[in-house]
Amino acid sequence: MTKDNEEFNHPFDNTELNNDDTFETSEGSALKKEGPNTTESSRKKYRRRKYDKRQKENKVVKKIVLIVLSLLILTLVLAGFTFYSYFKSSLKPLDSSSKKLVQVEIPVGSSTKQIGQILENKKVIKDGLVFSYYVKMNNLTNFQAGFYQMSPSMTLDTIADNLQEGGTAEPQTLADAKVTVPEGYSVDQIAALLAKKTKFKKDEFLNLMKNEEFFNKMVGKYPELLTSAKEAKEVRYRLEGYLYPATYNYYEKMTLEELVEQMVSKTNQVLTPLYAEMKEKKMSVQEVLTIASLVEKEGVKETDRRKIAQVFFNRLDTDMPLQSDISILYALEKHKVHLSIEDTQVKSPYNLYVNKGTGPGPFNNPSEQAVAAVLNPEENTYVYFLADVATGKVYYANTYEEHLELKAKYIDNKN
């Protein structure tokens, strides 16, 4: 090798160098730190290029991570929306237009989850797990074993109500339809409902409600239930209050009397465990159902119903008229949002603004919860209450002045 060559080391020389003696160029070749071609500027450029390369790599990695996270969040949102839509649709009737009835057996000891699966298998509901969750969410209990006739057109509320009411010990012939009487329906409303759901006409039903021979027949079968109703004076319909709000089997071949007796029998079934308590409190069935029919409409929540029941008792104890708007609407035989002074003076035994006491009898057909509120009221000293229809909140007062202040603050200011 020449002297010149000895002084110059080619960049691609194969000579081995220690890590302390070399650095890599952007082309990947090794240079001596102290060689004639290595300068401080070269090393800075190299470090800069290496730093830029790492920054670019970091940006690419961040971009990939951001894309992955975005896709993951989007997937979770779509999955959540899909689940919500499915859950919401599962709360609705499986087929609201269906008239089909299915015989369903709920074995003794069935859990909520098992009941849901049975209903799903019978194609009564869309999803058994959603039913189970719905039941737990609404704290629904006391489902009973037995045979039921259910339809895909039923809501989960109606199905749950049926399960709480109880089925039959043996399977029954499938009905032609189901008729559900809502809580708080009056005789006139039930008449309109039956005219829509069955072959029976409204006038036919109302005539039966005024038929003394049929009523006496019911008294003979259910004396403990109906004796006080028989003794009542000036009633519009003797069976008002005694047609229990529930779901009933309807058969094309059945008579109207048979359908009505189902309702009366159900009322007797629900009240039988309560007769002893009524006697202990020295209240007749007629009186209990009358106050319960007012409580049914005046309050929504159980706690409010119990408070309102006590307000009515407080008024009765001090010889004050109950002054329930429900009584005026029943006396007028029409629905009105706002009552006038003239309305409250309507001449009728059902007008509890003018007449003291509870009136001739029930104003509608109350639920078991309303009856329970009357038999177990929440102790208080209130003699006034008013309800905010928009919120459902009820305000109570001990004096008329306080009542007016609450009315001005929570009711009048919203109008």
Please check whether residue 399 lies inside any domain of the structure. yes
**Spatial separation of the C-alpha atoms in residues 51 and 85, rounded to whole Å:** 50
Please check whether residue 168 lies inside any domain of the structure. yes
pTM score above 0.75: no
Please check whether residue 323 lies inside any domain of the structure. yes
Which of 174, 201, 219 is where one domain is finished? 174
Q: Are residues 400 and 310 in the same domain?
A: yes
Please check whether residue 297 lies inside any domain of the structure. yes
Q: Are residues 22 and 111 in the same domain?
A: no
The domain total for the chain is 3
Q: How confident is the model at residue 8 (pLDDT cuts 50, 70, 90)?
A: very low
- Mean pLDDT score of the chain: 87
pLDDT for residue 13: 44
Say which CATH number the domain at 156 has.
3.30.1490.480
Q: Are residues 391 and 297 in the same domain?
A: yes
Please check whether residue 240 lies inside any domain of the structure. no
Please check whether residue 83 lies inside any domain of the structure. no
Q: What is the DSSP letter of 168?
A: B
Q: Each residue of 251-270: b (16+ CB within 10 Å) or e? A: eeebebeebbbbbbebbbeb
Which of 144, 174, 204 is where one domain is finished? 174
Alpha helices in 198-301 (DSSP H): 202-209, 212-221, 223-231, 256-271, 275-280, 285-298
**Spatial separation of the C-alpha atoms in residues 301 and 293, rounded to whole Å:** 15
Q: Are residues 15 and 142 in the same domain?
A: no
Q: pLDDT tens across 289-344, in order?
A: 999 999 999 988 999 999 999 999 999 999 999 999 999 999 998 888 788 899 99
Which of 143, 174, 205 is where one domain is finished? 174
pLDDT for residue 398: 95
Per the structure, the complete domain to which residue 125 belongs is given by: 93-174
Q: Are residues 305 and 410 in the same domain?
A: yes
